[in-house]
Amino acid sequence: MSLFESKFNHPYSYDPKFSKRVAYFSMEFAIDQSLKVYSGGLGFLAGSHMRSAFELKQNLIGIGILWKYGYYDQIRQQDQSMNVLFQEKVYSYLQDTGIKYTIDVNGHPVWVTAKYLPPQLFNSVPMFFLTTDLPENDYLARSISFHLYDADLAAKIAQFILLGVGGAKLLDELGYNAEVYHLNEAHGLAASFYLYQKYKKLEEVKKRLVFTTHTPEEAGNEKHDIYLLNKMGYFCGTNFDEVKFISGMHDNIFDYSQVAMRFARIANGVSALHGEVSRKMWSKYEGLCPIISITNSQNYTYWADKEMYDALKTSDDERLVRRKKYMKMRLFETVSDQAGDLYDPNVLTIVWARRFAGYKRPDLITQNRERFERLITNKKYPIQIIWAGKPYPMDYGAISTFNSLVHLSKVYSNISVLVGYELKLSKKLKYGTDIWLNSPRVPREASGTSGMTACMNGAINFSTQDGWIPEFANDKNSFLIPLADQSKSISDQDTSDLNNLYDILENQIIPMYYERPDEWVAMMKRSMTDVLPAFESNRMATEYYEKLYLNS
């Protein structure tokens, strides 16, 4: 009996459909508010996958990294603008596996151990979190597992080695003979070189490796200097000329995603549109695996308000509306606590909340100041707007956008910007909003799952037609911004989207909310109904087995 079977096994008998052994590698997992090893959408998605794998009794385990300081704590400076705090996290509920081993980083042995998250704590599959924060290591080696997405290049590469090589080696230590190594993004790609050294044949790697890409433009995929990677031990001792030959990287740049698709037997994009974009984007390269689509989804059990769904099932519209207003009031407690603004649960509430990034255009609605002023000061049909989200701590452009909205919120008592956008606040915002505003520049959003969980809580999507939205949205369950002409300049596209956004708000959303409440409730109910089961993660976790893991 292996160490895994004797100490860390799943608490159930596997469903025969899902008995193939799968190890899921991800840099981040959003499993519970208390376990701060995630930054945003990639982690939210991975967390829902682990929960659904548990619910479906799948033979799958998760492998990540125990980030000592998490991503970062988003706090405020004296003027209410955001600040970044790195604070040590302590998790008494994680169990010591007793496993210790070394990996090679930059010519030095680095000690690694794994902490275990038992399934029954948060209803996830067994999960293992790697750390180098051990007394056997010097400070530099210990710091590898300090900061999620470290800004230092060498530290980031060391983290990729830890996840990939450290994770693959952990599987050997556990005796969990994984038949599939699933890379959720290319951060764990070093595992493929560990496997190559183990089996000495690329075909053996391809048998086991599958890859999920989340990046819809080639420039956004991570690339590093191949000589630096070789020096740091990324290739697990593979002869450098052999690395170049099998990876197809013949210049100085190593493209992680391209190599992942050369080493995997199959890959997937995370929405139908993203699959199309990815196939077109990578078609100029030879030797890459097929790319299919498996649309991201979120876990109903964790995210949805069950009382709203009970009211929906019994066609009790009065109860549904009453529950929604109660959840709005719960959100508004947080708004008043953080921002000092008192909101009215009878007023149309709009939320924009996700990772702050330029292409997501968080401040789009404010860009025509005259029309924005008219909207925000309308006494007959008032609105309330809330923003939340974490920029990457070194993305100074996104931080500047966040802070400009903070300062704008001081001018108006009905707009607010919240800090600390993690699982707990994300839930509150989705419970308490009427409109979930989603404004990425098409086609930059691979999937964008936040709107799914908003639907599960009686919110209506107001969105550009990107990511998962074309698969879900229609005029009965969403408000859609018409596609801008993508042959035009970015500035022209932004202007087109902005004008359409205002027109739809003024002419459709606001009048319906205040003048035709029955229509509003009907749309809210349709949104809640249509999101299930197609955009619930049990469907997604099933498709991963059917389309990726069992595919050979």
Q: Kindly write down the DSSP assignment for every residue of 357-369, as one continuous string.
A: -GGG-TTGGGSSH
Q: How far apart are CA 495 and CA 478, in angstroms?
A: 21
Q: Kindly write down the DSSP assignment for every residue of 299-358, as one continuous string.
A: -HHHHS-HHHHHHHHTT-HHHHHHHHHHHHHHHHHHHHHHH-----TTSEEEEEES-B-G
Regions of the chain short of the pLDDT cut 50: none
Q: Kindly write down the DSSP assignment for every residue of 265-301, as one continuous string.
A: SEEEESSHHHHHHHHHHHTTSSSPPPEEE----B-HH
Could you tell me the two tokens for 63? 């492998």
Could you tell me the two tokens for 372? 């924005």
Find the angle CA(542)-CA(546)-CA(551) to the nearest 5 degrees. 150
Cis peptide bond upstream of 443, omega within 30: yes
User: How many CA within 13 A on the CB side of residue 136?
Assistant: 12
Q: How far apart are CA 179 and CA 18, in angstroms?
A: 12
pLDDT of residue 220: 83
Tell me the per-residue pLDDT of 443-473, one tens digit each, with 9 for 90 and over.
Answer: 999 999 999 999 999 999 999 999 999 999 9
Residue 195 is inside which H or E element, if any?
helix 190-199
Q: How far apart are CA 209 and CA 265, in angstroms?
A: 6
Question: Is residue 291 within 8 Å of residue 264, measured between CB atoms?
Answer: no
Superfamily of domain 3-298+539-549: Glycogen Phosphorylase B; (3.40.50.2000)
Question: Is residue 112 within 8 Å of residue 103, measured between CB atoms?
Answer: yes
Helix extents (H) in 410-536? 423-432, 450-455, 469-472, 490-504, 510-515, 517-530
Tell me the per-residue pLDDT of 59-87, one tens digit each, with 9 for 90 and over.
Answer: 999 999 999 999 999 999 999 999 999 99
Q: How many CB atoms lie within 10 A of CB 513?
A: 20
Residue 96 forms beta bridges with which residues? Answer: 115
Helix or strand or coil: residue 377? coil
pLDDT of residue 401: 98
Question: Is residue 247 within 8 Å of residue 259, measured between CB atoms?
Answer: yes
DSSP label at residue 413: T
Question: Is residue 162 within 8 Å of residue 148, measured between CB atoms?
Answer: no
Question: Is residue 423 within 8 Å of residue 353, measured between CB atoms?
Answer: no
Neighbour order of strands in the sheet with 60-65: 95-105, 108-117, 127-131, 60-65, 22-25, 180-184, 209-212, 266-269, 291-293
Give the domain 301-535 fold.
Answer: Rossmann fold (3.40.50)
Bridging pattern class, strands 108-117 and 95-105: antiparallel
Question: Is residue 490 within 8 Å of residue 441, measured between CB atoms?
Answer: yes
CA quadruple 498, 499, 502, 503: dihedral sign: negative
475 burial level (CB within 10 Å; 0-12, 13-18, 19+): exposed
pLDDT of residue 174: 98
Question: Is residue 142 within 8 Å of residue 133, measured between CB atoms?
Answer: yes
Residue 111 forms beta bridges with which residues? Answer: 102
pLDDT of residue 217: 85
Residue 298 forms beta bridges with which residues? Answer: 536
Residue ranges per domain, the chain? 3-298+539-549, 301-535
Can 3-298+539-549 and 301-535 be said to share one CATH topology?
A: yes
Tell me the per-residue pLDDT of 93-133, one tens digit each, with 9 for 90 and over.
Answer: 999 999 999 999 999 999 999 999 999 999 999 999 999 99
